[in-house]
Amino acid sequence: MSQQYPAILVIVPLLSAFAISIAGWVNKRLCFPIIVTALSVVVYASIGLLLTVLEKGVVIYHLGGWPPPVGIAYYVDHLNGLVLVVVASVALLNVIAAKKSIEQEFPDKAAPFYTLYILMVTGLLGIVVTGDAFNLYVLLEIAALTGYGLLAMGEERAQLSSLNYLYMGTIGACFYLLGVGYLYIVTGSLNMMDIARLLPPLYQSKAVLAAFIICMVGVWLKMAFFPLHSWLPNAYTHATSAASSLIAPLVTKVMVYVMIRLILTIFTPEFAFATMALNNVVVWLAVIAIVMGAILALAERNLKKMLTFIIVAEVGYMVGGAWLGNRAGMTGAILHIVNDALMTLCVFLVVGNIVYKVKGYAFEDLQGLFRKMPFTMGAFVVGAMSIIGVPPTCGFFSKWYLILGALQAGHYGFVAALIFSSLVSVVLFFRIFEICYYEPFSDHHGHDHPPEPMDEAPLLMVVPLLIVAVILILVGLYTGDIVNHIIKFAIPEGLV
């Protein structure tokens, strides 16, 4: 059984998607149990897979029994083993937390929503697990199409934002496809490892250079890397909370994974960092991304939109870290994929809970929430601390590696940007805490205040949220183990 984990990882959610779709027409109450079971199996398989990788090294799975490069192969190493666990667990936690709000927001379309949801998870898992450059494109499109659908089911502006995302996403995916085409035309292969094997003699070729740049631009578009980020804030803001709390943590992070996979496996760091003198340009772009993301977030008076700009800044962290071209930076970027997925999940679940109870997420709607929803806000504080980068929450540790990498690369601009963004995050979040904590102001100095009744979100929403908050701290405390046992092996030894 264990050697079939890679296949199970994708097939189980895929088949369950069809089952849910059919169940929607037969008996709607079956949908939720099916999706939870399927995602639990996925989490189990992904953890099993990661353990197998830790024990025995890289796992290669031949789909259809055809060995690569003839057939498509799954290729699981420490890098995607880790990301798989993150994707699977985020999806599971989110679906449990989102059940109530899904039922509240679309009482009659819950089944198709769950179907799209799990199809998206399938797509993301497939992107992460695959070892075939073209297969990645197909799954990219599944994740994207479901994403358009999920994001469009929001408030009034959601459709327009989602359509804009569709345009940008399609350009991004097409660029990636074109880059793969360029690789194909010079190597004749589509398997990542095979391409990596065939490429070294071709490093001087203009086509390889072009393939690399085009792929990168495509992936950047998809991950909303500055200045290609314009679609993201609106698309994520106007979506329903169940959709945005799945998409916001995962999509950009998975795309960062794709970028790292391209750099590390397909093109190899020697080519990406040595042959081309692009590093510096990209890191400076990342610096601008971080600074702009932070500043644009400051300008927002709307919690959810503010968080989306933080995502833009966080993407800058990861891209910049990966492009520093050293081990510490890359470690930071990979670690930040994990951490950022978790902390974004945390804050977006909080938004979900707030929307469920307060029906709004503008700053004015947040007054007095510390008293009203103490558990939700407690988790929010943990998530915010993580985004700010306060130990022992996990956000600090990836930031540490990123700063270390920047110091080792001598890139002080990036260090400054990271510190700046931390400081701005303090302002951003404490501005919200202040509103939740102080307002509405009472005239008589808070004494003899008639305590507002507690009005917490349902248990089903709060418990997963608290679990995420605890995970944020645990991941922080176990950073040493994650880095030493997993990420260390995910980065090729050539990268110092």
Partner 1 sequence: MKIIGLIITIITGAFLVYAAIDFPAWSDPNSPASTYLSPYFIENSMKDTSVPNYVTSLLADYRGFDTMFETTVIFTAGLVCFILLRISGGKEPETSHYRHVLTGVTVTLKKGHKIPESEDFERIDDLWTPPDLIIKTSCRLMIPFIQLFGLYVIAHGHSSPGGGFQGGVILGASIILLAISHDLRTALEKMREKVVAILCPIGVSIYAGTGTLCLLLGVNFLDYSALASVLHVDPIAARSHGIFMVEIGVGIAVMTTMIWIYNNISSAGKYNQGL
Partner 2 sequence: METITSIKPLLAVLVSLLVTPMLVSSRNPNVREGWTFVAAIIKLAIVASMVPAILQGTEIVYTVAEVFPGVAIKFKVDAFGMLFALVSSSLWIVTTIYSIGYMRGLNEHSQTRYFCFFAIALSATVGVAFSANLFTLYLFYEMLSFATYPLVAHHQDREARSSGRKYLLYIVGASIGLVLPAMMICYNLTGTLEFSKQGIFTGTEPNATMLVLLLMLVLGFAKAGIMPFHSWLPAAMVAPTPVSALLHAVAVVKVGAFSVLRVLTGVFGIDLLARLNLGTVICYIAAFTVITASLIALSQDGLKRRLAFSTIGQLSYIVLGVALLSPKGMIGGMTHIAMHAFGKITLFFCAGAIFVATGKKNISEMVGIGRRMPITMVAFFIGSLSVIGLPPTGGFFSKWYLVQGTIQADQWPMLVVLLSSSLLNAAYFFPIVYKAFFCTPEEAMFENRIEEAPIWCVVPLVVTAAGSIALFFYPTLFLKLAELATR
Partner 3 sequence: MSELIPTIIAKYNYWIYITLMMIGLYAMIAKNNLVKKIVGMNIFQTAIILYYVSIGVKKGATIPISTGGHGAAHEAVHAADYLNPLPHVLMLTAIVVGVATLGVALALCLRIYSRYNTLEEDEILAQIRKK
Sign of CA dihedral 238, 241, 243, 245: positive
The partner in contact with residue 302, picked from partner 3, partner 2, partner 1, none with C-beta cut-offs of 5 to 8 angstroms by kind, is: none
The site map against partner 2 for 463-482 (x = CB under 8 A) is -------------xxxxxx-
For residue 146, state whether it binds partner 1 (rule: CB under 8 A): yes
Q: Which does 174 bind (CB under 5 to 8 A by kind): partner 1, partner 3, partner 2, none?
A: partner 3
Site string for partner 2, 399-418 (x = CB under 8 A): -xx-xx--xx------x---
Task: In whole angstroms, give the CA distance from residue 26 to residue 21.
Answer: 9
Of 348, 350, 382, residue with least CA distance to 472: 382
Least Cα distance to 84 among 326, 217, 276, 254 occurs for 254
Q: What 3-state DSSP class applies to 401?
A: helix
Q: What is the 3-state secondary structure (H, E, C) of 447-471?
A: CCCCCCCCCCCCHHHHHHHHHHHHH
Nearest Cα to Cα of residue 332 among 482, 200, 141: 482
Interface residues for partner 1 in 176-235 (CB under 8 A)?
A: 182, 184-190, 198, 205-207, 209-211, 213
Binding to partner 1 by CB under 8 A, coded x per residue (else -) over 61-100, reads xxxxxx--xxxx----------------------------
- With CA atoms as reference, report the closest residue to 166 among 138, 199, 143: 143
According to the binding rule CB under 8 A, does residue 171 interact with partner 3?
Answer: yes
How many residues in the shown chain lie near partner 3 by CB under 8 A?
A: 26
SS3 108: coil
By a kind-dependent CB cut-off of 5 to 8 A, residue 446 interacts, out of partner 2, partner 1, partner 3, none, with partner 2
Q: Between the CA of residue 331 and those of 84, 289, 398, 419, 490, what are the distances in Å?
A: 17, 20, 8, 18, 9
What 3-state DSSP class applies to 362? strand
Q: Does 152 bind partner 1 (CB under 8 A)?
A: yes
CA-angle at 226, arms to 221 and 229, nearest 5°: 55
**Binding mask of the shown chain, residues 102 to 121, with x at each position contacting partner 1 by CB under 8 A:** ------xx--xx-xx--x--
Q: Which residues bind partner 1 (CB under 8 A)?
A: 4, 7, 11, 14-15, 17-19, 21-22, 24-25, 61-66, 69-72, 108-109, 112-113, 115-116, 119, 122, 126, 132, 134-135, 138-139, 141-142, 145-146, 148-149, 152-153, 159, 182, 184-190, 198, 205-207, 209-211, 213
Q: Which residues bind partner 2 (CB under 8 A)?
A: 385, 388-392, 397, 400-401, 403-404, 407-408, 415, 419, 422-423, 426, 430, 434, 437-438, 441-442, 445-449, 451, 476-481, 483-484
